[in-house]
Homo-oligomer: A and B are copies of this chain.
Amino acid sequence: MKKSLNIAVAGLGTVGAGTLKLLAAQSDLLALRAGRPIRVTAVSARTRGRDRGVDLAGVTWFDDPVAMAREADAEAIVELIGGSDGTAKAVCETALAAGRHVVTANKALLAMHGTALATTAEDAGLTLAWEAAVAGGIPIVKALREGLVGNRISRLQGILNGTCNYILTTMRETGREFADVLDEAQHLGYAEADPSFDIDGIDAAHKLALLSALAFGAAVDFAGLHIEGIRHISAMDIEYAEELGYRIKLLGIAERGPGGIHQRVHPAMVPLAAPIAAVEGVFNGIVTEGDFVGTTVLEGRGAGAGPTASAVVADLVDIACGRRAPTFGVPARRLDTVKSLPMDNHMGAYYVRLMVIDRPGVFADIAASLRDCEISLESVLQRSRAPGGVVPVVLTTHEASESAMRRALATIGGIDAVREPPHMIRIERG
């Protein structure tokens, strides 16, 4: 048996402890599959005494994870601290400077500093592996980087945040409102006490920025993303979506456009028959379009100790086997600095719900606003009547530009009989 791959783990939260459990439970199997054992020689976490359900006998404890990254008896450092700067960044930089491979689940860090870290790693002949940073246990990074390596990817679309997908699924299944379901999700541990990273789309955006870099061989450009969350989705919109044959999902979408790449995270209506519409609850799913392979769909658990540990260990086995690939599919110094296209350039169909006073003539004003912006209506629904009262009117449009749509919505929002700001959700082909 060849000598072991020694590793050190920084951060022993849910994922860190899960990784140690997996390595212990599968040690013989992993030694067989990897051709050498994987041995945890050092760990570091904030609190030393806590029982994490893992045996740390014989493992060196470091109070300072940065010191561990520099000094541990380890070929690879596993960074599971999290956060886009501070300690996590220092751990990764120190590990690479000390000639150690890095495996990380930290999407925030890579979304901000991914290109620089990849360059540092590759210049030193080291691996910076991040399967666990995106879509938990789904091997999407390996699929894009290696499995689909023969393809030019034109479009990638994913449900990348389990918290949002759980909330949207539960809203649909129960008819309840966002705030109510979020509250429940927090009690169940599916949403954080401060849920904004998830529900405002930031977490999905970090992941999309990384997948987009990998799919298009482009430098990570988090600042170029358009990001909207799901706070404004109401039970009424979900009900109308069903009636119109759609399901509402928080999507991350990256696609080639004229002269650049569109990268956007926002709620979207997708056709019920689209594979991504069937990705429910805490599951994640990613649809890719490659020029030779066509459409490929990957689904699985997007978070949690087991799935994320599965991804961390896959990266460790690659290192143990000496399997290497560029961090973002092409050498970091050859990544394109492709332009991220502004959202105004987006072309798509739209769903708009208006709360209007039910009186003759209102619809003529709305229709005129759309016509003035050269937007074609596909359908109009006014289900309820309440003469003189406020009723929902739902429109769907044919393809239009985002800028035209925004102009039209500004005008419509100003119509006296329109009593709330228009509720707009983009329609995607799924």
Contact = CB atoms under 8 A, between A and B. Distances in A.
Interface of A: 18, 22, 25-26, 29-30, 32-35, 131, 136-139, 142-143, 146-152, 217, 273, 275, 278, 285, 290-301, 306-307, 309-314, 317-318, 321-326, 329-331, 334
A290 to B, nearest CB: 7
Contacts of A317: 146, 149-150
Contact of A292 (B293, B306, B324, B330): B306
A217 B278 CA distance: 32
A139 B150 contact: no
A172 to B, nearest CB: 14
23 contacts: A33-B149, A33-B326, A33-B330, A137-B148, A139-B142, A139-B147, A139-B148, A139-B296, A142-B143, A142-B147, A143-B143, A150-B310, A150-B317, A151-B310, A275-B278, A293-B306, A293-B307, A293-B310, A297-B299, A298-B298, A298-B299, A299-B299, A323-B323
A49 B307 CA distance: 53
Interface centre among A152, A273, A295 (most CB of B within 10 A): A295
Given A275-B278, A324-B321, A149 B30 contact: yes
Nearest to A279: B275
Nearest to A23: B150
A331 B292 contact: no
A32 B321 contact: no
A297 B295 contact: no
B217 A32 contact: yes
Contact of A295 (B143, B152, B217, B300): B300
A314 B32 contact: no
A279 to B, nearest CB: 8
Contacts of A151: 26, 310
A342 B419 CA distance: 69
